[in-house]
Amino acid sequence: MALVAGLGNPGSQYAGTRHNIGFELIDRLSSELSIPVRRTADTRLYEMGQGQFKGEQVILMKPLTFMNRSGSALKHALNHFKLPLHRCMVCYDDIHLSPGTLRIRSKGSAGGHNGLADVLTAIQSEQIPRMRIGIGNDFAAGRQSDYVLSSFTSDQQKLIDEALTSAVDAIITFIREGIEQTMNKFN
């Protein structure tokens, strides 16, 4: 079993923004793997979909707790499904990478990302796989919030579309082969 969590903010006003690239990846995986993602009756913490891919149970989730409070939703899902951390991939935006760049790691610090910091605090560990998707950092001092909550330029969107296609392939590799093979193939 594998769980893939894409971090973002719920609500139509955030759709298509840089900070919601994790949600966009989950939407693409949902389509590619034919696993519908929707709100569950038993919790208001996340939208989720469950299905099979090549004999593996797959869970896709979008925390509904907003980006900087993603930890409680992910902790709930991990506990509910009794999943070890190494079978969960957390996917999110990164301003320290140029638009469209992917970086996959098996563990580590939050690197200044508040959403991941909340996840690491909630699960009390840095030993969780993560995929960072570069969104660039072309913003004036003090304007980071405006930048991450805005849409990509048309040139950036082309790079993001290519990155999301690669990210789907990387997640499929993670599901089938684990984190080490995924890092070897996609970093």
Residues acting as catalytic residues = 19
**Beta-ladder partners of 133:** 93, 102
| 102-105 and 88-94 strand pairing | unpaired
3 state SS of 134? strand
DSSP character for 153?
P
Tokens found for residue 147: 């930048």
| 46-53 and 56-63 strand pairing | antiparallel
| 88-94 and 56-63 strand pairing | unpaired
Residue whose entry in the numeric block shows the structure tokens 């902790």: 75
List, in order, residues 6 or more apart from 88 with CB less than 8 Å away.
2, 3, 4, 5, 74, 78, 128, 129
List, in order, residues 6 or more apart from 97 with CB less than 8 Å away.
103, 132, 133, 134, 135, 136
Dihedral of alpha carbons 91, 97, 99, 104, sign = negative
